[in-house]
Amino acid sequence: MPRSFLVKKYFTNKRPNYSELESQNAVIPECYPLAELPMRGNSSVLTYFPTALLFNMDALPAPLSPVSPVSLTGPLDLSSSPSSSSGEDEEEAGRTSDPPSPVPPHHIYHCLHCSKTYSSPSGLSRHQLTHCPRGSEISSIPSEALPRPAFHCKNCPKEYTSLGALKMHIRSHTLPCVCTTCGKAFSRPWLLRGHIRTHTGERPFSCQHCNRAFADRSNLRAHMQTHSEVKKYQCGSCSRTFSRMSLLHKHTASGCCPAS
């Protein structure tokens, strides 16, 4: 059974509800390619080959980078101080997922939905994708806070303020990147490349401590935590620590800390 998001079960609201898409009459705009969506019942993902951009594994450019062990952030200092909850490890690499504090002076594009700011209009535009409301939610948003969407997706109620944002969204419907080996489709080329590694067995990311190799950099990063004596994620109630947030979530969900 392929681990397709088409068959994946979601139990939280944080994951996209693709069933909404399937429940609707798919109407693909003529102005965009790949007007065919996998339909429940008459076509499986495995046999789905839309008129999409087909990636031939043999024709693909060489993998992302030379297949050599990759050092993520330089030598891992396993004896370093606990990173508590702020993720200093990543910050050492000069990049974090969120700006630490006040808005940098060059961030002049403000999101009307939240307090985030961006240094470029494209950054703001892409960020606003995250605020894209469902049709039923639009009415609950103050009109002055709406970004005056002008581009509507014909597959779902989503609306976007730029053509680029809409195009990016449409890829999640059309899934133009198709694996020629198994037929699985993806919205972005790099997702397909990662998937292809599951076929080729390529594992470009190696652990410097145990030489174990991984196909995905994030998985290597998670693995690195297993070498660390101090786990990164701590339960607020019992102070027990875990190497991954998902393990902490499982811990709390199991009822160990009912108060939390």
Partner DNA sequence: CTGGGGAAGGGGCCC
Partner DNA sequence: TGGGCCCCTTCCCCA
Token pair of 98 as six digits: 């969120």
CB nearer DNA, residue 129 or residue 146: 129
Question: What residues from 209 to 248 belong to the interface with DNA (CB under 7 A)?
Answer: 212, 214-219, 221-223, 225-226, 242-247
End-to-end CA distance of the chain: 36
The region of 27-35, 75-83, 121-129, 142-150 touching DNA under the rule CB under 7 A is: 121-129
DSSP string for the chain: ----TTT----STTS--THHHHTS-----TTSS----PPTTT--GGG---SS-EE-TTTSPSPSS-SS---SSSS--TTSPP-TTT-HHHHHTT--SS--SS--TT--EE-SSSS-EESSHHHHHHHHHTT---HHHHTTS-GGGS----EE-SSSS-EESSHHHHHHHHHHHH--EEETTT--EESSHHHHHHHHHHHH----EE-TTT--EESSHHHHHHHHHHH-SS-SEE-TTT--EESSHHHHHHHHHTTSSTT-
The region of 21-29, 119-127, 133-141, 144-152 touching DNA under the rule CB under 7 A is: 119-127
Q: Which amino acid is at 71?
A: S
Figure out which of the listed residues 12, 25, 81, 140 binds DNA, where binding follows CB under 7 A.
12
Task: Tell me how far, at minimum, the Cβ of 139 lies from DNA, in Å.
Answer: 21
Q: Does 152 bind DNA (CB under 7 A)?
A: no
Q: Does 123 bind DNA (CB under 7 A)?
A: yes
Q: Does 168 bind DNA (CB under 7 A)?
A: yes
Question: What residues from 26 to 85 belong to the interface with DNA (CB under 7 A)?
Answer: 64-65, 72-73
Task: Tell me how far, at minimum, the Cβ of 140 lies from DNA, in Å.
Answer: 19
CB nearer DNA, residue 11 or residue 25: 11
Question: What residues from 184 to 203 belong to the interface with DNA (CB under 7 A)?
Answer: 184, 186-191, 193-195, 197-198
Q: Please tell me the distance from the alpha carbon of residue 190 to that of residue 4, in angstroms, as a whole number.
A: 16
Q: Does 115 bind DNA (CB under 7 A)?
A: no
Task: Tell me how far, at minimum, the Cβ of 163 lies from DNA, in Å.
Answer: 5
CB nearer DNA, residue 27 or residue 246: 246
Figure out which of the listed residues 146, 164, 180, 181 binds DNA, where binding follows CB under 7 A.
164
Task: Tell me how far, at minimum, the Cβ of 59 lies from DNA, in Å.
Answer: 14
CB nearer DNA, residue 36 or residue 92: 92
Figure out which of the listed residues 3, 40, 110, 134 binds DNA, where binding follows CB under 7 A.
3
Smallest CA-to-CA distance from 20 within 171, 175, 189, 172 is with 172
> How many Cβ atoms sit within 10 Å of the Cβ of residue 255?
7
Task: Tell me how far, at minimum, the Cβ of 42 lies from DNA, in Å.
Answer: 20
Q: Does 251 bind DNA (CB under 7 A)?
A: yes
Task: Tell me how far, at minimum, the Cβ of 143 lies from DNA, in Å.
Answer: 22
Q: Please tell me the distance from the alpha carbon of residue 102 to that of residue 97, in angstroms, as a whole number.
A: 15
